[in-house]
Structure 1
Amino acid sequence: MRNYKIEQKQEKESIGRLRGFIAGVASGVTKLTVGHPFDTIKVRLQNSGLDGRFSGPLHCLKTTIQKEGFRALYKGASPPLVGWVFMDSLMLGSLHNYRLLLQRNDPTIKLNLFQHALAGAGAGWTVSIIATPIEQIKTRLQVQYDQSTKVYSGPIDCARKLIRNNGIPGLWIGFIGTLAFRSWFCVLWGSYEVYSRWLRRYNMNEMMVNFLAGGLSANTFWCVSFPVDSVKNRFMTQPDVKPLHFPNLRSIARHMYQTEGINGFYRGFLPCILRSFPTNASAILVFETTMRFLKDF
């Protein structure tokens, strides 16, 4: 009887560790559906520099739809469709397990804000491993505006050409930038806990708490991390030639500052913030709801 109880407990703990990964799949699908059109506008503005292609987010949206059709807003969606499922599964699954680790596998232990932020940073570092090639392919496809700028016929062609020119490591060009950007997940998940505690004071429904705290924490995250994301994306989408025109993140950040000033680091910020709240609020709501649903199994 005792062995059966021990085995039952171990099985329950194993299932508990998998909950975050399963819930992350649902979150990834939600994030793509709601957020990818905003992301396309953001990436195009970040990479437009001073070429005058777009005067702002609305002009970018209008021009994109007029010249390329509505489907152009989902350019590069195939990598994140698969990628966001994998990324959110790994990110949220590892977040859940880092929390369990800090709780010493006792869910009744309440983590402090620093521990929530630490678990968030750990999740960001972990997911950077698969996020780098996915984001590189996505952003390269998103900045193909017409036949004159078209280099890749699709995600597989993009990956094949990157590997042909640089070997397998070519898919991880920009890894340091991804790592630096996703280190800010400490702010995302630390502030999520702050907002959640604050909202619960008003006796809100838990689903409403998840939605509002998810949106607010995402906006907080982007306010502090956006310049790093801009540098990372500009570095990833530069022409794949040898030697690279900008060999490292510092060189491209210096060039952006010298030619565009501080504003260069915030191109595309408006569509990013507009996307951030509904996308992440919905994704985190789906994640938390799925976690509660799976808790009963």
Structure 2
Amino acid sequence: MDSGFWAGYLSGALGIIIGNPLDVIKVRLQAGNAAHVPPSHLSGIEKAGSLVRGAAAPILGYGALNAVLFMAYNRLLMTMDHSVVDPTNPSGVPLYKIWVAGAAGGLASWTISAPTEFIKCRAQMDSRPEVSSWSVAKDIYRHRGWRGLYYAGGVTSARDAIGYGFYFWSYELCKRLMTSENETSNQAAMKVLLCGGIAGIVTWGSVFPLDMIKTRLQAQTMHDTHDVHTLPGSTERQPLVRPRQTLTTVQIAKEAYRAEGLRPFYRGLGVCSIRAFIVNAVQWAAYEWLMKSFTQPSQPLSLEPMTQRT
């Protein structure tokens, strides 16, 4: 694996550790009544154990997702524009190419993001203390098989492609607008943090309605009703699972708009924006720091962006 893979993996895992508590609140706000979440959970004032619920799947999955994302982005950008020597500093590359490379990277990471998001979403919305990412994954597999892990995969892939296109595009645009002559290392470090945070907000703002629909699609799977019936030839009562009829992507969007207009499509965006700024500021700083340490191990670590090699 190249340096981009490991820098992406480590920075992605770090981002999840930092941002998961706010992500729990965001998911429950988006789900609304879709999963019958108690009002006390929507307030965001919960025990620490609840706020880290569902973290195991994204820490493992999002690290791998971020690794695939950055590796695919770096390689495609260098393929699209042969002038790129250092993908962390693609100065002079048209911004549309950066958007396309980011969108392609998002699609490449979908195979990991779809099951990771589903497991995380289910775990975060379940208030039972014994529920973990692993128990949720086993439950999904038991009732839906391997294909069930990719439930809502279509809207997830659209979200990832569009969102990561804007993710890399907005980060590079911000860096170019903030570039100045005689930049000190402290100024460069602050630029990476600020541009990373802004990129996170832009990304979620561009796809938040899609993310809400994805959350409600996945929340429907918690609506299975458990009845009791008697097996033929037996007096023993057995649980019977009757899956409730689920809505499609379009039906969920129509139902949400009919009930509350545009409000539910952006509910939780404030919390998500705060989380996105913090997580992506740290994540981009960690990524550029790790990339520099991997490619220039003899140099002292710094957040100053790498210059192009000649």
Q: Which TM class, normalised by the smaller chain length?
A: 0.7 to 0.9
Equivalent residue number for residue 260 of structure 2: 260
- What per-residue deviation string (whole Å, max 9, x for no partner) do you get for residues 79-128 of structure 1? 01111111111111211112221233751774210111111101111111
Q: State the 1:220 CA deviation.
A: 1.2
After superposition, the Cα gap between the structure-2 partners of 1:295 and 1:239, relative to the gap in structure 1 and judged at 3 Å, is same
CA distance in 2, matches of 1:20, 1:72: 33
SS of 2:69's equivalent? helix
Structure 2 unaligned segments of length 5 or more: list them. 225-241, 298-310
Q: Does 1:156 align with 2:134?
A: yes
Which one of 113, 116, 137 corresponds to residue 98 of structure 2? 116
Q: Is the 8 A contact 1:24 1:287 kept in 2?
A: yes
Mapped partners of 1:112, 1:289: distance in 2: 24
The Cα shift of 1:206 comes to 2.5
Is 2:153 the counterpart of 1:175?
yes
Alignment of 1:117-266 (within 5 A): 117-146=99-128, 153-184=131-162, 185-201=164-180, 203=183, 205-239=187-221, 241=224, 245-266=245-266
> Structure 1 CA distance, aligned partners of 2:37 and 2:146?
35
Post-superposition offset of 1:34? 1.3
Matched residues in 2 for 1:210 and 1:257: separation? 38
Instruction: Report the CA distance shift for 1:244/1:192 in structure 2 as closer, same or farther (over 3 A).
Output: farther
Indicate yes or no: 2:23 matched with 1:39.
yes
2:53 and 2:123 in contact (8 A); partners too: yes
Asked whether the 8 Å contact 2:24–2:124 carries over to 1, the reply is yes
Structure 1 runs of 4+ aligned residues shifted over 6 Å read: none
- Partners of 1:52 and 1:296 lie apart in 2 by 49
C-alpha offsets along residues 19-56 of structure 1, whole Å, 9 cap, x if unaligned? 1101012211220121101100000111124868449x
In terms of fraction of residues, the more helix-rich structure is: 1
The structure with the larger Rg is 2
Q: TM-score, normalised by structure 1?
A: 0.84
Q: Tell me the matched-pair count.
A: 270
Q: SS of the counterpart of 1:183?
A: helix
Structure 1 CA distance for aligned equivalents of residues 247 and 108 of structure 2: 25
What value does the CA root-mean-square deviation take over the aligned residues? Answer: 2.3
Instruction: Compute the displacement of 1:246 (Å).
Output: 3.1
SS at match of 2:111: helix
Aligned pairs for 1:266-281 within 5 A = 266-281=266-281
Q: Which amino acid is the alignment partner of residue 268 of structure 2?
A: G
How far is 1:274 from its partner? 1.0
Contact 2:84 2:93 in 1 (8 A): no
Three-state SS of the structure 2 residue aligned to 1:133 is helix
The one of 2, 8, 14 equivalent to 1:30 is 14
Evaluate the alpha carbon distance shift between residue 90 and residue 105 of structure 1 in structure 2; reply closer, same or farther with a 3 A threshold: farther
Q: CA deviation at 1:243?
A: 6.0
Q: CA deviation at 1:186?
A: 1.1
Question: Are residues 1:107 and 2:91 paired?
Answer: no
Among all aligned residue pairs of Structure 1 and Structure 2, give the percentage whose two residues are the same amino acid.
27
Judged with a 3 Å threshold, the aligned counterparts in structure 2 of structure 1 residues 105 and 163 are, in CA distance, closer, same or farther, namely farther
- Tell me what 2:68 maps to: 90
